[in-house]
Amino acid sequence: MTAPLPSAAAALLPALKFDRDGLVAAVAQQHDTGEVLMLAWMNRDAVTQTLATGRVCYWSRSRQSLWRKGETSGQAQRLVELRVDCDGDTVLLLVDQTGSACHTGTRSCFFRAVRGGRLERIAEPIVDPRTLYGAEA
Amino acid sequence: MTAPLPSAAAALLPALKFDRDGLVAAVAQQHDTGEVLMLAWMNRDAVTQTLATGRVCYWSRSRQSLWRKGETSGQAQRLVELRVDCDGDTVLLLVDQTGSACHTGTRSCFFRAVRGGRLERIAEPIVDPRTLYGAEA
């Protein structure tokens, strides 16, 4: 991605429909492999920061604060492209993910699948979560 | 997909965390190309029907009713695999999409992107929406 332009947020924000909590859903997808990594949420500030810095910033609903992905864990997401859906309540983030997107240490948060009538783990951690968050994990 | 097993919903539902409206987010991805098609919502019944029939069924928040994708438009989604994220509030549906996922007639709902500081249309309709919904469109 080239340097984000200051006008990007101004162009995007009017197309977004934030919900009653002031959020849009954000799906993060690895830009080259197509792997869906995670779903999180963004408020206006998170969208603006993401476009301004080229690093993905979400809104943490549990902590009620901006969540600069990778700030603690180092597992950051570089923004490659931001897309918007037809009704403006969801964005698709094409990203370049460093390491694991999931706090459990798996590459993707979607590491369980229904197969053969059971819920199976289909991916193992690629990073020890204790190395991501220290004693917090 | 082989015939869905009756036990699939029983295995999956305890792993899901439905929100205050009784919903989980559902990201639909074309199983072979990796294209992210849309984001919608599912309640318990939609999850159960999807697993039982192998055809994706959502919950329409605007109509407050089950939404058997393609029932009106013919643009159905065959379920290939259902995955669950780490905290159980989002599912990833690997699907085989017939035609367009979007009510506007584009293949994906994410047909706009921020490029060069502007919001640009990056995909055109592949189906005339008037042929999908008749006079409703």
pLDDT (tens digit, 9 = 90+) per residue, A46-97?
A: 999 999 999 999 999 999 999 999 998 999 999 999 999 999 999 999 999 9
User: Would the pLDDT of A17 be above 80?
Assistant: yes
- Chain B residues with beta carbon closer than 8 angstroms to that of A119: 11-12, 15, 84
Contact criterion met (CB < 8 Å) for A39 and B27: yes
What is the distance between the alpha carbons of residues B5 and B1, in angstroms, rounded to a whole number?
11
Quote the pLDDT of residue B1.
Answer: 53
Contact criterion met (CB < 8 Å) for B122 and A15: no
- Chain A residues with beta carbon closer than 8 angstroms to that of B6: 117
Give the distance from residue B8's alpha carbon to the nearest chain A alpha carbon, in angstroms: 4
Quote the pLDDT of residue B137.
Answer: 38
A124, A98 in Cβ contact below 8 A? no
A122, A111 in Cβ contact below 8 A? yes
Quote the pLDDT of residue A137.
Answer: 38
- Chain B residues with beta carbon closer than 8 angstroms to that of A25: 25, 39
What is the distance between the alpha carbons of residues B104 and B112, in angstroms, rounded to a whole number?
12
Residue B26 Cα distances to A61, A91, B135, angstroms: 18, 14, 29
A34, A110 in Cβ contact below 8 A? no
Determine the average pLDDT of the residues in B72-92. Answer: 97
Mean pLDDT estimate for chain A: 93
User: Would the pLDDT of B120 be above 80?
Assistant: yes
Determine the average pLDDT of the residues in A21-31. Answer: 98
Quote the pLDDT of residue A74.
Answer: 93
Quote the pLDDT of residue B136.
Answer: 45
Q: Model-level pTM?
A: 0.93
Condensed to tens digits (0 to 9), the pLDDT of residues B17-72 reads 999 999 999 999 999 999 999 999 999 999 999 999 999 999 999 999 999 999 98
Quote the pLDDT of residue A132.
Answer: 87
Give the distance from residue A125's alpha carbon to the nearest chain B alpha carbon, in angstroms: 12
User: Would the pLDDT of B2 be above 70?
Assistant: no
Residues of A near B (Cβ–Cβ under 8 Å) read: 5-8, 11-12, 15, 25, 27, 29, 33-36, 38-39, 51, 81-87, 90, 92, 102-104, 106, 109-119, 122
Per-position b or e across A34-66, b if 16+ CB within 10 A of its CB: ebbbbbbbbbeebbbbbbeeebbbbbeeeeeee
What is the distance between the alpha carbons of residues B80 and B94, in angstroms, rounded to a whole number?
5
B48, B66 in Cβ contact below 8 A? no
